[in-house]
Amino acid sequence: MPDERKPEPADDKPHPKVFHIQIDREHYEVETAEMTGAQLRKVPPTPIPPERDLFEVVPGHPDRKIENDDIVEIRNAGGPWETFNDRWPSAERGS
């Protein structure tokens, strides 16, 4: 006797990819592969204030300063955390 069970319909809803980012040692998940600096600043529950600079940590290279209108590609879908941190501008740190 043939198996008359019908296959379950495929879920047509798109499944968002989850990207893992770390901002100032705190982990967050975002669902977009590109974000502006302004969007990244709003990810933490307490947004990063405008008087602080935002940097992308680039292993083996100098950290990259992220301006509000810069577009950052989040490349880690399922991989290691994309890491960012905020700092006082150099002049205010005494450097």
Q: Bigger pLDDT: 25 or 92?
A: 25
* 5-40 pLDDT per residue, tens: 655 555 566 666 888 999 999 999 999 989 999 999
* 50-88 pLDDT per residue, tens: 999 999 998 889 999 999 999 999 886 555 778 899 998
HEC string of 47-70?
Answer: CCCCCCEEEECCCCCCCEEECCCC
Q: What is the pLDDT of residue 93?
A: 43
57 within 8 A of 24, measured Cβ to Cβ: no
Q: Which residues are registered as beta bridge partners of 82? A: 21
Q: Which residues are registered as beta bridge partners of 35? A: 72
Q: What is the pLDDT of residue 91?
A: 47
